[in-house]
Amino acid sequence: MNRAVPKLSSLELQFQSTENSKLLAGVHAIALPLVVDETGARVASVKGFERTLEKITGISFENEIEKFGTPLVGKVGELIEILLSGDKTKLQKIFLVGVGTGTPSDLRKVGALLGRKVKGSSTHLLSACSADSESIKAHAVALALATYTWAEKSTPAPETPRFSIMGKFVKEIELAQIEIESVWIARNLIHTPANIATPAWLASQAKMLAKHPDVKVTVKSGEELAEFGGLRAVGNSSRIHSPRFVQVAYAPRGSKNWKHVVLVGKGITFDTGGVSLKRPYDTMMAMKSDMAGAAAILATVVAVSKLAPNVRVTALMMCAENAFSGSAQRPSDVIKHYGGTTVEVINTDAEGRLVLADGLAFADKNLDPDYLIDVATLTGAATLGLGRQYAAMYTRDAKLAKKLHEIGEISGDRVWHMPLVDDYEVALESDIADYNHCR
């Protein structure tokens, strides 16, 4: 099964034109910004185009807004849906949608709202909600990603919407398309059931997706993992689906002196909790997604190979199934990680940090990274403090933390800088190993 290429949405380039009738060719719905001044009156931000629409459709925007009845404030998500007869053109709907202050964050929310409006249909939506090059990419990405669906059924696939963006944003839309495709890859991998998405399958997907002349994929398994004590301790609990170490490296010719970013991703294809079995049972239902970190970093390298920045990027996917079996690790076991550090296992359901430790040690010893970042669905405890609105971010690099925070606010993938202080070291002490792993 190959669901790694986005099939449900597409973005077209659509330019402003004085021949506005051509702009509407094949369009079923149009989204216009709803901007309100301090008196509560609507401000038409694309006047010429709106006059053309009124002439073609025979409607008056002022009359339609008056029918709405409720005073407008222009907040993000405020929506007026105008239904058309469609007897003169294929145009069926016009959305007037509040865009707030027009920031990238606001336009991302608007895109998600509009995408959900046409999800599961063959609607071609033209958005004129942003004329700002800083906001248009966030808006375009949200439009498409809001239509995402994963379904492996015998019934026909759902209908697929299409999107056009008004304005000359060629570069921004090209970047948006790369981001959309990459996020779609990660989502497809994450939603694939664990009976299909095994460690070996993830390795095969990496080889298939990273077919780029500047990307090299290396897979280790079996005896090649002898030094990877954490990965083996977790993954050898499943004799059927044995662990894999997958290295996906973007390094074009002549890039030796470029900055090197190494990403380490948790790839637990299913997490029973091992001997420390998850309780209650229903907490196990979502554990096919415990490999989301590995999926995200693989999709990142795929995107980087298309963007071609002057940066080397290596993804280390630590893939294993945390099963309950006679060969599973036990609480009180001591394991030796890559590089020789020993760890006393306290709870086998805290397996993510064990596989990540091998990856981080491997990167430190062999790859000479300028930046070393791990990505993981590591612990439910993070949601107790932050909810599901923020990911917990631990780093002592304040400059990097600030940059990641700013980017996350724009993209909607928000992170919160957590404390990382020496006072915590006492909690890692063990009487029988270098460290215990989850006090």
Q: Which residues are catalytic?
A: 278, 353
Bridging pattern class, strands 259-271 and 371-375: parallel
Is there a contact between 152 and 257 (Cβ–Cβ < 8 Å)?
Answer: no
Amino acid at 230: G
In degrees, rounded to 5, the angle at the alpha carbon of residue 144 between the alpha carbons of residues 118 and 153 is 75
Sheet with 371-375: list strands edge to edge: 215-220, 244-250, 311-322, 259-271, 371-375
- CB contact set of 37 (below 8 Å; sequence gap of 6+): 43
> What's the CA gap between 241 and 224, in Å, rounded?
16
Partners of 435 in beta bridges: 343
